Amino acid sequence: MNGLILTLVSGLFFLIGIIIYKIVKHKKELTIISMSCAMIIIIGLIVTDLIPHLIEMNNFLLVIFVVIGLLFILFIDKFIPHHHHDHHENDEHTKSHQHHLEHIGIITILALLLHNFVEGMALYSVTMENLKSGILMCIGIGLHNLPFGFQIATYDEKTSNKALIVLLVFSGLLGGLTIYLFGDISHLVEGIIIAITLGMIIHILFFELCKEVWDNINKKETIYGIIIGILLLLVINLI
């Protein structure tokens, strides 16, 4: 039961981030900070988590599923409204820019759903072996999820998005329940899920977040977000 509770808590950090964003006054500044912070966190996720995990599996064929993940997001990309926009003063308040943020939000949630499902399985397994290790892992995952909560909260509140957000919050718990009900999945299946997730997240990083950060590169909020992201990564890796 402790394992399932911790998987739920780890997902609730998305919700905490969303709530914090909703109650702060300077949403424009927090949006810029959250985008640049999320970019750094995603880079850390790719370099310190996903790629090393796949290398440990020592299966070159998993590269195929990285490409599949990338192509899957490109395919989904065609069916999600994506508005090209140029940045102007107060651009964050224009409809075109809001649609662009919604677009990033949906594909980010899709990728994070897969990733947190796998993390939920891992967190549950670790907690069953050692409760202290599970608590530390839960804190690390939570700190990792918090800035994504800020980012997700910048998107328009549509019913479909709300459903995806609810699913995202509970994705870690669903991963834990999978292990609880059916036992450990094979390393190959785990590797395939991680590889597909990596491909999806690579798309988010290079084709979405980097563009947003570059457009705001001269703003102090961007620097603050990058610094916060680096500090979060240091804290996560020290836990």
Q: Are 229 and 73 in contact (CB under 8 A)?
A: no
Q: Which domain holds residue 216?
A: 2-238
Between the alpha carbon of residue 234 and those of residues 46, 47, 149, 160, the distances in Å are 15, 13, 19, 35
Least confident of 73-77, 93-97, 190-194, 207-211: 93-97
Domains identified in the chain, total number: 1
pLDDT, one tens digit per residue, over 154-166 is: 665 544 567 888 8
Determine the average pLDDT of the residues in 112-118.
Answer: 84
- The residue with greater pLDDT, 96 or 138, is 138
Q: What is the mean pLDDT of the chain?
A: 80
pLDDT digits (tens, 9 = 90+) for 11-64: 999 899 888 888 888 877 887 887 888 888 888 888 888 898 889 988 889 999
User: Given pLDDT bands bounded at 50, 70 and 90, which one contains residue 87?
Assistant: very low
Report pLDDT for 103.
60
Quote the pLDDT of residue 165.
85
State the Cα–Cα distance between residues 85 and 104, nearest whole angstrom: 13
The predicted model scores a pTM of: 0.71
